[in-house]
């Protein structure tokens, strides 16, 4: 257990006797520990942000280049969130981060305060004195929702960060007097391809106001981010370094461009701003961002932080968090479960992020500026991950925001030259990561669960067009043959299975809208999973375009077996929309349950996944991979075999082993909140096996009780009787006092409000 966590727990222990349950529920911020997941695979960041905030202001401990001279650098994966808990130095604080992803980008506008001799390069971690970076200690680090502070040892500066939606607020207290520098490094960034920067542009508008932007070619191919900086104290002098050719053609001789020249542009610019400070003096800085323009950034700053009261911004940010986190109030067996629960809830609210200015304007896929009319435009859709539990969780806890996310996806569709919904999109770019067209799941699930304000006809059109795009990733073959042939397109089995599920979602939406033709087309496609099931081996198996199954086949291996980031053992179970048929095909309930038992208990040697970045030993139970997404529904399949007790027991085991209140506590990438959403559903006792269906499968709640305030004003309560660490089995479940006859509960029933009561037992 690491210092910060221990500290949190000590803090908990200290305050617990004082507050009643109700008071605690009103201050869930205290249970959130943003450090959880920042070590190893979690890829979360510890910095300051508000719920769904555009600014996510966080320390970067290093940002290994993605590639140098075109060669991939293996360590880049570690730095998807810019911060690794074990690193000894902080390079600076940047304003945009992904939370929990397995691929990297962003890291815009890295700021670092220093003292003494100006150094305009970051230096190296083994010798922080070689650059502007600084050593720090976790003992001097504090991470809370909307607040982060750390002492920068090399410069003896106390750095404090808070944020509004679009503004990062920095407070640097200089313990020593003398020359102070604030560095704005426009070269720094996450996923630093050796040529990531395309252009940077900086204007010193006056002695306290800086504006500018950066264009990058990182994971997002054509990405712009604009900023406006306001300093609390006038700049004494400033300058920059650049590796670019002279910034003004042949006419640079007119000026001293190196000192106090207020227009700077080029490819790789680092700027610095000098101040005189007294010992103990604080310089504050607001940095607003905009996807549109520097005008937009400035307007965002004026609208959101028209003052210099750091504590007010922090308090308002934490109040926002308390408001969102208080949508669920819980009692738990152990206090550490509250930390896990509210930190998970916190992580689910870190994305998708707001992507528009205060006036509603935002950059579209076509690089034009669009206006979000009647909705908040969001970005960062890690859909292969988040369609599974995060968006379904939002349909329960954040239905209005989820509806806006759907509207954002439909805006993407409108702007798409392919007329396709997002696959993995961020910051006005489609990066095409992973597989499937899972936007359709998010859209169908939202509409079927009663989301309002979405043009359903248009949404269906977008789903159908996305699913009929023949040039997309083997889809033409799939439409022709009923499966993606491995000899034509890799990861063919994963694609076939996920397309089939997505098609089922489209069919459900079509049915709701009375579009029989579309329903018939897609419900037929939804059965395509059968085309890759190999009765002989009992696994889903890659098939060739001639109709035969591919010879070489190892169902344990994650590499080159027709799957993506998973092996046949895990991925073969991916028929979430037809589990009963699948189980029947796979030998019936009994055999299937035994198959699942093997999955959770057999041993998976390292060699089968060691080259797959997204899978690590920490996220594996037997051969079951919880640290990555494809099997997230699997534990609930026991319910379909008549052995729900195994679901119950295993869920509790996963909750305990895969989510620990530690820096290294997450066994896999949090993936923009998907991993956390799994925790939250499961801790509440149910899970959406097939988003798009009205149904949740029941598991075994971890909470003692939970009260969910629904957006429609109703209250949904989970209660347990005889809850305990060992009482993981459910002997009876009542819905509003009536015993349930199945292992499922309907979303539509939950919406009406009511009480779900679990009777727990140790057997």
Q: What is the footprint of a second copy within residues 256-315 (CB under 8 A)?
A: 256, 260-263, 265, 293-295
Report in angstroms how near the CB of residue 263 gets to a second copy at its nearest: 6
Nearer to a second copy, 263 or 580 (CB): 263
Strand partners, 215: 199, 224
Indicate which single residue of 7, 73, 203, 327 sits in contact with a second copy (rule: CB under 8 A): 203
Choose among 584, 585, 557, 553: nearest CA to 570. 557
> Which part of the chain contacts a second copy (CB under 8 A), choosing from 248-256, 327-335, 385-393, 707-715?
248-256
Helix axes 399-415, 456-467, angle to 10 degrees: 50
Buried b (16+ CB within 10 A) or exposed e, 461-492: bbbbbbbbbeebbbbbbbbebbbbbbeebbbb
The rounded distance, in Å, linking the Cα atoms of 528 and 588 is 20
> Which part of the chain contacts a second copy (CB under 8 A), choosing from 126-134, 399-407, 426-434, 639-647?
426-434
The rounded distance, in Å, linking the Cα atoms of 554 and 559 is 9
- Residue 213 lies near a second copy (rule: CB under 8 A): yes
Nearer to a second copy, 437 or 729 (CB): 437
Strand partners, 171: 160, 284
Cα 190 to chain centroid, rounded: 16
Report in angstroms how near the CB of residue 67 gets to a second copy at its nearest: 9
Rg of the chain in Å (alpha carbons) = 26
Nearer to a second copy, 112 or 484 (CB): 484
Nearer to a second copy, 193 or 240 (CB): 193
Reduced to 3 states (helix: H, G, I; strand: E, B; else coil), residue 718 is: strand
The rounded distance, in Å, linking the Cα atoms of 441 and 567 is 23
- Residue 710 lies near a second copy (rule: CB under 8 A): no
- Residue 611 lies near a second copy (rule: CB under 8 A): no
Reduced to 3 states (helix: H, G, I; strand: E, B; else coil), residue 490 is: coil
> Which part of the chain contacts a second copy (CB under 8 A), choosing from 139-147, 243-251, 497-505, 737-745?
243-251
- Residue 102 lies near a second copy (rule: CB under 8 A): no
Report in angstroms how near the CB of residue 72 gets to a second copy at its nearest: 8
Report in angstroms how near the CB of residue 357 gets to a second copy at its nearest: 12
The rounded distance, in Å, linking the Cα atoms of 12 and 140 is 19
Indicate which single residue of 245, 307, 741, 763 sits in contact with a second copy (rule: CB under 8 A): 245
Indicate which single residue of 73, 140, 179, 201 sits in contact with a second copy (rule: CB under 8 A): 201
The dihedral formed by the CA atoms of 57, 62, 68 and 72, expressed in degrees to the nearest 10: -90
- Residue 234 lies near a second copy (rule: CB under 8 A): no
Report in angstroms how near the CB of residue 437 gets to a second copy at its nearest: 12
Please count the CA atoms within 13 angstroms of the CA of 506 that sit on its side-chain side.
Answer: 34
Whether the link from the prior residue into 352 is cis, omega within 30° of 0, is yes
Please give the DSSP secondary-structure letter assigned to residue 407. H
Report in angstroms how near the CB of residue 71 gets to a second copy at its nearest: 11
The dihedral formed by the CA atoms of 253, 259, 264 and 267, expressed in degrees to the nearest 10: 90
- Residue 335 lies near a second copy (rule: CB under 8 A): no
CB 573 within 8 A of CB 634: yes
- Residue 414 lies near a second copy (rule: CB under 8 A): no
Report in angstroms how near the CB of residue 748 gets to a second copy at its nearest: 37
Indicate which single residue of 118, 282, 369, 544 sits in contact with a second copy (rule: CB under 8 A): 369
Q: What is the footprint of a second copy within residues 6-35 (CB under 8 A)?
A: none
Which residue's structure tokens are 């309560």? 717
CB 555 within 8 A of CB 539: yes
- Residue 205 lies near a second copy (rule: CB under 8 A): yes
The rounded distance, in Å, linking the Cα atoms of 191 and 426 is 14
The rounded distance, in Å, linking the Cα atoms of 205 and 235 is 11
Report in angstroms how near the CB of residue 262 gets to a second copy at its nearest: 5
- Residue 471 lies near a second copy (rule: CB under 8 A): yes
Nearer to a second copy, 294 or 567 (CB): 294
The dihedral of CA 586, 587, 592, 595: what is its sign?
negative
Report in angstroms how near the CB of residue 433 gets to a second copy at its nearest: 6
Indicate which single residue of 125, 319, 433, 513 sits in contact with a second copy (rule: CB under 8 A): 433
> Edge to edge, what strands does the sheet with 237-242 contain?
58-60, 92-94, 110-115, 178-185, 269-277, 237-242
The rounded distance, in Å, linking the Cα atoms of 371 and 711 is 26
- Residue 431 lies near a second copy (rule: CB under 8 A): yes
Report in angstroms how near the CB of residue 42 gets to a second copy at its nearest: 22
- Residue 247 lies near a second copy (rule: CB under 8 A): yes
The rounded distance, in Å, linking the Cα atoms of 656 and 701 is 12
3-state secondary structure labels for all residues of 80-115: CCCCCCCCCEECEEECCCCCCCCCCCCCCCEEEEEE
- Residue 473 lies near a second copy (rule: CB under 8 A): yes
Please give the DSSP secondary-structure letter assigned to residue 663. T
Indicate which single residue of 17, 20, 22, 70 sits in contact with a second copy (rule: CB under 8 A): 70
- Residue 198 lies near a second copy (rule: CB under 8 A): yes
Q: Mask of contacts with a second copy, 166-195, x by CB under 8 A?
A: ---------------------------x-x
- Residue 366 lies near a second copy (rule: CB under 8 A): yes
Report in angstroms how near the CB of residue 266 gets to a second copy at its nearest: 8
- Residue 358 lies near a second copy (rule: CB under 8 A): no
Nearer to a second copy, 25 or 198 (CB): 198
Indicate which single residue of 199, 308, 735, 759 sits in contact with a second copy (rule: CB under 8 A): 199
- Residue 472 lies near a second copy (rule: CB under 8 A): yes
Which residue's structure tokens are 């992020």? 353
Report in angstroms how near the CB of residue 482 gets to a second copy at its nearest: 20
The rounded distance, in Å, linking the Cα atoms of 556 and 607 is 10
Report in angstroms how near the CB of residue 348 gets to a second copy at its nearest: 26
Strand partners, 169: 162, 286
Choose among 447, 324, 342, 343: nearest CA to 397. 324
Nearer to a second copy, 256 or 457 (CB): 256
Size of the site for a second copy (CB under 8 A): 48
> Which part of the chain contacts a second copy (CB under 8 A), choosing from 46-54, 205-213, 445-453, 697-705?
205-213
> Which part of the chain contacts a second copy (CB under 8 A), choosing from 244-252, 317-325, 531-539, 545-553?
244-252
Number of H helices, E strands in the chain: 19, 39
Nearer to a second copy, 121 or 260 (CB): 260
Report in angstroms how near the CB of residue 211 gets to a second copy at its nearest: 7
Question: Can you give the binding site for a second copy, defined by CB under 8 A?
Answer: 70, 103, 193, 195, 198-199, 201, 203-205, 211, 213, 215, 217-219, 221-222, 245, 247-249, 251, 253-256, 260-263, 265, 293-295, 366-369, 417-418, 431-433, 471-473, 490
């Amino acid at each position: 257990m690491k210092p910060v966590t221990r500290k949190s727990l000590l803090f908990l222990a200290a305050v617990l006797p004082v507050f009643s349950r109700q008071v605690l529920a009103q201050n869930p911020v205290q249970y959130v520990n943003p450090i959880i997941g920042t070590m190893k695979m979690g890829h979360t960041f510890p910095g300051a942000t508000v719920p769904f905030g555009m600014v996510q202001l966080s320390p970067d401990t290093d940002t290994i280049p993605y590639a140098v001279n075109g060669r991939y650098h293996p360590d880049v994966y570690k730095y998807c969130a810019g911060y690794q808990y074990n690193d000894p130095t902080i390079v600076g604080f940047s304003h945009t981060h992904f939370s929990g992803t397995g691929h990297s980008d962003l890291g815009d506008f890295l700021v670092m305060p220093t003292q003494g001799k100006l150094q305009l390069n970051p230096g190296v971690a083994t010798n922080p004195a070689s650059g502007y970076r600084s050593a720090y200690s976790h003992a001097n680090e504090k991470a809370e929702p909307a607040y982060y502070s750390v002492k920068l040892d090399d410069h003896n500066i106390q750095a404090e960060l808070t944020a509004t939606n679009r503004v990062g607020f920095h407070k640097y207290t200089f313990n020593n007097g003398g020359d102070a520098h604030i560095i704005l490094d426009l070269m720094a960034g996450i996923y630093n391809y050796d040529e990531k920067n395309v252009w940077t542009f900086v204007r010193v508008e006056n002695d306290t106001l800086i504006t500018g932007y950066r264009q990058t070619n990182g994971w997002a191919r054509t990405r712009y981010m604009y900023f406006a900086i306001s300093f609390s104290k006038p700049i004494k002098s400033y300058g920059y370094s650049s590796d670019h050719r002279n910034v003004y053609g042949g006419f640079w001789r007119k000026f001293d461009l190196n000192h106090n020249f207020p227009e700077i542009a080029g490819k790789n610019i680092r700027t610095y701003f000098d101040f005189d400070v007294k010992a103990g003096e604080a310089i504050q800085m607001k940095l607003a961002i905009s996807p549109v323009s520097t005008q937009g950034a400035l307007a965002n700053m004026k609208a959101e932080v028209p003052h210099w009261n750091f504590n007010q911004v922090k308090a308002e940010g934490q109040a926002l968090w308390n408001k969102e986190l208080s949508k669920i109030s819980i009692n738990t067996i152990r206090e550490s479960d509250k930390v896990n629960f509210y930190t998970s809830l916190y992580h689910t609210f870190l994305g998708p992020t707001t992507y528009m200015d205060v006036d509603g304007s935002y950059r579209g896929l076509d690089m034009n500026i669009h206006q979000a009319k009647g909705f908040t435009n969001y970005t960062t859709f890690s859909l292969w991950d988040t369609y599974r539990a995060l968006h379904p969780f939002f349909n329960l806890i954040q239905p209005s925001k989820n509806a806006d996310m759907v509207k954002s996806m439909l805006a993407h569709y409108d702007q798409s030259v392919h007329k396709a919904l997002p696959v993995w999109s961020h910051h006005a770019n489609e990066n095409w990561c992973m597989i499937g067209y899972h936007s359709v799941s998010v859209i169908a699930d939202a509409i079927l669960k009663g989301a309002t304000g979405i043009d359903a006809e248009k949404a269906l059109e977008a789903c159908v067009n996305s699913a009929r795009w023949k040039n997309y990733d083997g889809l033409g073959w799939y439409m022709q043959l009923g499966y993606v042939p491995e000899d034509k397109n890799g990861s063919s089995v994963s694609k076939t299975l996920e397309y089939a599920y997505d098609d089922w979602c489209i069919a459900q939406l079509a049915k709701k809208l009375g579009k029989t033709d579309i329903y018939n087309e897609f419900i037929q496609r939804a059965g395509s999973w059968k085309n890759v099931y190999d009765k002989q081996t009992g696994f889903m198996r890659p098939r060739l375009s001639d109709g035969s199954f591919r010879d070489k086949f190892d169902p344990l291996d994650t590499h080159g077996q027709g799957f993506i980031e998973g092996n046949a053992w895990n991925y073969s179970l991916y028929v979430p929309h037809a589990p009963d048929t699948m189980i029947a095909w796979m030998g019936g309930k009994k055999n299937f349950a035994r198959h699942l038992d093997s999955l959770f208990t057999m041993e998976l040697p390292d060699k089968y996944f060691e080259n797959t970045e997204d899978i690590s030993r920490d996220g594996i139970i037997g051969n079951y991979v919880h640290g990555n997404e494809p099997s997230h529904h699997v534990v609930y399949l026991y319910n379909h075999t008549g052995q729900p007790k195994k679901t119950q027991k295993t869920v509790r085991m996963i909750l305990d082993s895969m989510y620990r209140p530690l820096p290294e506590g997450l066994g896999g990438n949090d993936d923009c909140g998907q991993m956390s959403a799994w925790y939250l559903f499961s801790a509440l006792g149910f899970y959406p096996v097939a988003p798009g269906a009205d149904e949740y499968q029941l598991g075994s709640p971890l909470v003692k009780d939970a009260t969910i305030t629904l957006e429609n004003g109703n209250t949904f309560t989970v209660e347990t009787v005889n809850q305990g660490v060992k009482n993981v089995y459910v002997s009876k479940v009542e819905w509003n006092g009536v015993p349930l006859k199945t292992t499922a509960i309907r979303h539509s029933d939950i919406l009406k409000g009511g009480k779900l009561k679990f009777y727990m037992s140790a057997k």
